Amino acid sequence: MSDLIAAVATARAASAIGILRLSGPGACEAVGRVFTPASGKPLSAYPDRRLVYGSLKDSQGRIIDWCMATVSHGPHSYTGEDTAELQCHGGAALLAAGLESLFAAGARQAGPGEFTKRAFLNGRMDLSQAEAVIDLIEADTAELAANAAGQLGGAIRARAEAIHDQLIDILAHFHAVLDYPDEDIDPFQLEDYLHTLRSAQAQLQRLHDSFRRGRIARSGLATVLLGQPNVGKSSLLNALAGYDRAIVTAVPGTTRDTVEERVRVGGTLLRLIDTAGLRQTADEVEALGVARTESAAQEAELALCILDLSRPRSEEDERAMQLARKAPHCLIIGNKCDLPRRQVPPAGAICLCAKTGEGVQDLQQAITALVGEVDAPWDGAVLTNARQADAVARAIDALHRAEEALGEGLTPDAVLTDVEAAIDALGQLTGRSLREEVVSRIFSRFCVGK
């Protein structure tokens, strides 16, 4: 049995409107105790979802705002329970007093994500939709917001449920044949099953493939800047970022730590990591930085290796290039092309001048050509969440095993076990088969009032 919760649903900053939200048994009565319609009629006389103008009282009965109230009785509400909202003026002190007043009327403070958690537990949305709520709130680009809106509308849920239903059909048929061998049930249609398993795998694989795109859109493609001290890494970072993010000095070894910057190149978001140089050093702080460079290089998807063309090629340059070539994608950059040349750039190197920005556009084009994303729509079919990607991967694996078992003519039990595992993994995507503690952890990412 759930209780009555209340929270301020808007950001705590002076703004035009601030919203107080209530959900649970007695929500409509509680709001009726703190809010009086200007018409003189009681709030309960108004129909659901009607905005009503009136006064809000604090816990001492003093009027603290003239605002709007609305109620929605369950189950046709966001949480599936009785809910009410007060749309007040957006002052922090006023909202705090309004919230106190709701507490005095019987509510308690809602925990993080508790409204959306109730919506999920009451079947108003599945877990992929609930997670889309926080994605929509946190989306910092129009693409991510559009994708989250698609998922809130059920883009992932629809895909997962269609596959779930097909797999349940297979399970049901298998069980019917196994459990009632004397009944006149259609025999196994192996070809049909194989087709279903393969098409489910292909659909889920497309979903899983989208995760790379989603991850890059969210946090950027891990891109490491490599090169010995003073070749111009910080200058290039600044040239790409468009302002002075890293400290540029003429003294080698000043970039002691790694500096990160998110930069949009073409349609791709890069998470640029400027590293301490690769110089062999006795300086302990710098030695730490060098170790970090090596691990950043190993984890990067794109390495940009910078050479100073105004100096002869050194062993350190060679080491930097070697390290860079270990990344899945790599570009060699010949910097300081404004100065007299003291080395021949390697074949395919992009020559530029980080200081003035000359040639930086060529680098941007090369990056787009190398790691740029296809211009597919952001309609909700892009996975941006590692938990969801993991569930999809497990479903694919289980379907693959089921297909193999079927192909090898293994006992139906083996096929059944794998199909059940796939159904379970899909259930984790939609939240059908998740344990309470996992659900609680997911909603703890939310802020209070959502």
Determine, following the binding rule CB under 6 A, whether residue 223 of this chain makes contact with ligand GDP: no
How would DSSP label each residue in 283-322? -HHHHHHHHHHHHHHHH-SEEEEEEETTS---HHHHHHHH
Answer for which of 26, 113, 229, 289 binds ligand GDP (CB under 6 A) is 229
Q: Does residue 248 touch ligand GDP according to CB under 6 A? A: yes
* 321 near ligand GDP, rule: CB under 6 A: no
Minimum Å distance from CB 319 to ligand GDP? 15
**C-alpha–C-alpha distance, residues 261 and 51, integer Å:** 45
Task: From 21-29, 71-79, 106-114, 330-338, give the range in contact with ligand GDP by CB under 6 A.
Answer: 330-338
Least Å distance, CB 270 to ligand GDP, is 17
DSSP 342: -
The three-class DSSP label of residue 50 is coil
d(CA 13, CA 246): 31
Does the protein bind ligand GDP through residue 233 (CB under 6 A)?
yes
Report in angstroms how near the CB of residue 345 gets to ligand GDP at its nearest.
13
Residue among 18, 100, 149 nearest 449 (CA): 18
Kindly tell me which of 233 and 450 has the beta carbon lying closer to ligand GDP: 233
| Closest distance of CB 341 from ligand GDP, Å | 12
Distances in Å between the Cα of 238 and the Cα atoms of 129, 308, 317 are: 39, 17, 21
Q: Give the shortest CB-284-to-ligand GDP separation in angstroms.
A: 19
Which residue among 355, 387, 400, 432 contacts ligand GDP (CB under 6 A)?
355
Binding test (CB under 6 A) with ligand GDP, winner from 27, 56, 224, 231: 231
Q: How far apart are CA 282 and CA 286, in angstroms?
A: 8
- Quick check: 240 binds ligand GDP (CB under 6 A)? no
Measured between alpha carbons, how far is residue 51 from residues 15, 48, 86, 94, 201 in Å?
Answer: 20, 9, 9, 20, 48
Cβ proximity to ligand GDP: between 108 and 341 the closer is 341
User: What residue has token string 């479903």?
Assistant: 395
Which residue, 248 or 302, has its beta carbon nearer to ligand GDP?
A: 248
How big is the site for ligand GDP, counted in residues (CB under 6 A)?
19
Q: Taking CB under 6 A as the rule, does residue 45 contact ligand GDP?
A: no
377 Cβ neighbours under 8 A, 6+ residues apart: none
Least spacing, CB of residue 310 vs ligand GDP, in Å: 7
Q: Which of 129, 235, 293, 428 binds ligand GDP (CB under 6 A)?
A: 235
249-288 residues near ligand GDP, rule: CB under 6 A = 249-250, 255
Q: Least CB distance from residue 257 to ligand GDP, whole Å?
A: 12
Q: Cis peptide leading into 75, omega within 30 of 0?
A: yes
Q: Which one of 43, 71, 127, 353 is in contact with ligand GDP (CB under 6 A)?
A: 353
Rule CB under 6 A: say whether 336 interacts with ligand GDP: yes
Measured from the CB atom, is 73 or 245 closer to ligand GDP? 245
How do beta strands 268-274 and 221-226 pair?
Answer: parallel
Candidates 324, 354, 382, 425; binder of ligand GDP (CB under 6 A) is 354
Task: Tell me the closest approach of the beta carbon of residue 312 to ligand GDP, in angstroms.
Answer: 16
Considering only the stretches 62-70, 256-264, 349-357, 420-428, report the one whose residues sit in contact with ligand GDP under the rule CB under 6 A.
Answer: 349-357
Residues 6+ apart with CB under 8 A from 279: 228, 229, 252, 253, 286, 290, 316
Decide if 260 contacts 247 (C-beta within 8 A): no
HSE-CB for 264 with a 13 A CA cutoff: 6
The DSSP call for residue 109 is E
* H helices present in 190-262, as ranges: 190-219, 233-241
Is 232 one of the binding residues for ligand GDP (CB under 6 A)?
A: yes
Say if CB 173 and CB 412 are below 8 A apart.
Answer: no
List residues binding ligand GDP (CB under 6 A).
Answer: 227, 229-235, 248-250, 255, 335-336, 338-339, 353-355
